Chains A and B, each alone.
Chain A
Amino acid sequence: KQEVTQIPAALSVPEGENLVLNCSFTDSAIYNLQWFTQDPGKGLTSLLLIQSSQREQTSGRLNASLDKSSGRSTLYIAASQPGDSATYLCAVRRSNDYKLSFGAGTTVTVRA
């Protein structure tokens, strides 16, 4: 069974600071890994998708790395803004099926 852990559970930073969010998973046989945001009581918005063959993926201020062998992914957010405040979820898709395993999330607050 794939276990996904996100540390820290919560993070508060002043505006402009860089953010580093961690995701670890127990089974390295993954198909891909996806980062999402979720606002309270809302659905999920996809941020980045990293295929198992990739080491990193970038979109604007976001950069996600993947180290499959060590079971880790890191999401970097440069120059954080108050609008970045949300819960960030990491989800891993296993190689042998379509199911996603989610971490519990990191709740980020960016203070103006």
Chain B
Amino acid sequence: GAVVSQHPSWVICKSGTSVKIECRSLDFQATTMFWYRQFPKQSLMLMATSNEGSKATYEQGVEKDKFLINHASLTLSTLTVTSAHPEDSSFYICSAKPLPHYGYTFGSGTRLTVV
């Protein structure tokens, strides 16, 4: 139980295009999901908190217009990297908190390469 599915697992896009990453909770409802970014050999950095039915909360230094987050249902959050540039190339991971007093479950991640 408590599975989070993330798609795609990898994507290559041209500079200036937009890319959408999906994060789904398969067997539970997630009113809150989280989006992280991870650079090579570094730890996960929280980008934003996605709230179902309301605006996302972004961490300091994260561009809201660059990283659009939509959480339209209790099982789906999407991250859209708009007008992607090579510096946006990274590993993006989503997570959700299934139930009170339980730990967090993470998706399998998306490797984004902008060329």
Contact = CB atoms under 8 A, between A and B. Distances in A.
Interface of A: 32, 34, 36, 41-46, 49, 51, 89, 91, 93, 98-100, 102-105
A44 B105 CA distance: 8
A43 B103 contact: no
B58 interface: no
Contacts of A41: 91, 109, 111
Chain B contact residues, majority secondary structure: strand
Given A45-B106, A99-B46, 5 more contacts: A42-B109, A43-B107, A43-B108, A44-B95, A100-B95
Interface residues on B, range: 20 to 34
Nearest to B107: A43
Most chain-B CB neighbours within 10 Å: which of A34, A43, A102? A43
B78 interface: no
A36 B106 contact: yes
B103 A46 contact: yes
Interface in B50-97: 91, 93, 95, 97
